[in-house]
Amino acid sequence: MRRCIFVLGTRAQLVKIAPVLRLAEASGLRHTVWFTGQHRESIDDLISDFSLNSAFVLPARHKERSSIFRLLVWVPKTLHDCWRYVGSVKQWTGKRPLVVVHGDTLSTWLGALAAKWGGGDVVHLESGLSSGKWNDPFPEEMLRRLTFRKARYAICPNDEAAARMERYAGCIVINTQENTLLDCVRFAIQQGAAHDSTGDYFVASIHRFQNIYSRDELARIVDEMLAAARFGEVHFILHPPTELRLRKYNLYEVLADAPGMNVRPRMPYTEFLALISGARAVFSDGGSNQEELSYLGVPTVLYRERSERPDGLGSNIVLRGDVNESMESFIESGKIDTLRVPSRIDADVYPSQETIDALLRWSGASGQET
């Protein structure tokens, strides 16, 4: 039986793969989680939050890779170490390991490259998503397209993504119809995380490269969050790279000292889900947030020009560029509230189970090996 190596690097990746890891343990799938350390702080909290018992290989250093310089130093060492680990597993087991990478981060591409160099087969989870423009969002779209070319197996969350990956010769494709994040939201709700009623507060979560590495863009977002704070408390979730840029551009105090603004550090997943599920509306630029909020039906303004995900668009989620008025007017008029739709967490789709079934089949644990 082939061994599975999950190569992860960020909080969002661990959140999305958490229900898969829980099922991997229950099913007896032989696996380890090789953590790159792209995000290291609070990872232990997530492991505890989801009650994960998988074997984790964690980096010794605990410093967050929150600047471009630190990432540049981290990349070659991580690629080398991951390549050696994949190669050692192949040598130890005598079989090509399945190297599971997720999404569109630097860790995704490094894991895929290390898998090919180390003699493994790449399994790309959340595969086939594309914005249709090679450099937007940057660098995620480029990392996705590079990973597509390395994938032996593609696990796709919708029909369009599956059709895209079927164009790659030799790639085995399955379509789970939804993302594994749906199972994360279900898990959090089972833990009592969701609110039963809508609050009068807002939540903001901004961290994308294109938003935080432009002073003008970040200042515009800060101004709009200050405008939103006139209508209800804004819980601004502070990602480490975002904090660095806010301080560099002298915007941190402007935000933190404003009336109605609650600047908060990142929090455990179930706590964060409780916060966004009870919000009047959410302001975000994250793909994972887009999916979570599409399941919850919470009104959302997405600070991106385009998205590779269809989730929620045309329903409860609107791109900022499609709001043809000031944020103050959009909130004051009540238009933002008309975006609210019923939750769809009860959909009869179980993407994490389908993912595990495929991994068991491809690894040979189910009596077959592809």
Q: Is residue 183 part of a domain?
A: no
Instruction: Name residues whose C-beta falls within 8 Å of residue 26's C-beta, 6 or more positions apart in sequence.
Output: none
Residue 332's pLDDT band (cuts 50, 70, 90): very high
The per-residue pLDDT for 38 is 75
Max CA distance (Å), the chain:
65
Query: Please, what's the b/e burial string for 19-55 (b: 16 or more CB within 10 A of its CB; e: otherwise)?
Result: bbbbbbeeeebbbbbbbbbbbbebbeebbebbebebe
Q: Are residues 169 and 252 in the same domain?
A: no
Q: Are residues 198 and 79 in the same domain?
A: no
Residue 11's pLDDT band (cuts 50, 70, 90): confident
Q: Are residues 230 and 165 in the same domain?
A: no
Residue 65's pLDDT band (cuts 50, 70, 90): low
Q: Which residue has the higher pLDDT, 198 or 29?
A: 29
| Mutual angle of helices 11-27 and 287-296, in 10-degree steps | 70
Strands 151-156 and 121-125: parallel
The per-residue pLDDT for 283 is 98
Check whether 4 has a pLDDT greater than 60. yes
Asked if 360 and 366 touch (Cβ cutoff 8 Å), the reply is yes
The per-residue pLDDT for 74 is 82
Q: Tell me how crowded residue 167 is: count the other CB atoms within 10 A of its CB.
A: 10
What letter would DSSP give residue 257?
T
Q: Are residues 133 and 21 in the same domain?
A: yes
Asked if 303 and 285 touch (Cβ cutoff 8 Å), the reply is yes
Check whether 329 has a pLDDT greater than 90. yes
Check whether 249 has a pLDDT greater than 70. yes
Residue 239's pLDDT band (cuts 50, 70, 90): very high
As a whole number, mean pLDDT of residues 264-284 equals 93
The per-residue pLDDT for 135 is 86
As a whole number, mean pLDDT of residues 173-202 equals 88
Q: Is residue 296 part of a domain?
A: yes
Q: Are residues 31 and 170 in the same domain?
A: yes
Q: Is residue 344 part of a domain?
A: no
CATH of the domain at 240: 3.40.50.2000
Q: Which residue has the higher pLDDT, 135 or 25?
A: 25
Q: Are residues 205 and 83 in the same domain?
A: no
When the pLDDT of each residue in the chain is averaged and rounded to a whole number, the result is 92
Q: Are residues 78 and 140 in the same domain?
A: yes
Q: Are residues 123 and 272 in the same domain?
A: no
Both tokens of residue 180? 């594994």
Q: Are residues 247 and 101 in the same domain?
A: no
What letter would DSSP give residue 170?
T
Q: Are residues 200 and 308 in the same domain?
A: yes
Both tokens of residue 78? 């991580």
pLDDT tens digit string along 298-311? 999 999 999 999 99
Q: Are residues 238 and 321 in the same domain?
A: yes
List the end-to-end C-alpha distance of the chain, in Å, as a whole number: 11
Domain extent for 99: 4-178+349-363
pLDDT tens digit string along 308-322? 999 999 999 999 999
pLDDT tens digit string along 114-169? 999 999 999 999 999 999 998 888 889 999 999 999 999 999 999 999 999 999 99
Nearest 5°: the CA angle 71, 74, 76 is 115
- Give the count of domains, the chain: 2
Q: Is residue 223 part of a domain?
A: yes
Q: Is 61 exposed, middle or buried (0-12, 13-18, 19+ CB in 10 A)?
A: exposed
Both tokens of residue 177? 């119809």
Both tokens of residue 68? 């471009």
Residue 268's pLDDT band (cuts 50, 70, 90): confident
Q: Is residue 323 part of a domain?
A: yes
The per-residue pLDDT for 192 is 76
In angstroms, how far is CA 117 from the centroid of its own chain?
26
Q: Is residue 300 part of a domain?
A: yes
Asked if 137 and 148 touch (Cβ cutoff 8 Å), the reply is no
The alpha carbon dihedral of 259, 263, 268, 269 has a sign of positive
Interatomic CA distance for residues 148 and 134, integer angstroms = 13
The per-residue pLDDT for 40 is 62
Residue 43's pLDDT band (cuts 50, 70, 90): confident
Q: Is residue 11 part of a domain?
A: yes
Q: Is residue 368 part of a domain?
A: no
Asked if 162 and 128 touch (Cβ cutoff 8 Å), the reply is yes
What letter would DSSP give residue 332?
H
Q: Which of 53-62, 125-134, 326-335 has the lowest mean pLDDT?
A: 53-62
Q: Are residues 95 and 41 in the same domain?
A: yes
Alpha helical stretches, state H, the chain: 11-27, 43-49, 68-93, 106-118, 140-150, 159-165, 181-190, 209-212, 215-228, 240-248, 252-256, 269-277, 287-296, 327-332, 351-363
Predicted structure pTM score: 0.87
Check whether 226 has a pLDDT greater than 60. yes
Going by C-alpha positions, the residue among 198, 197, 201, 249 that lies closest to residue 222 is 249
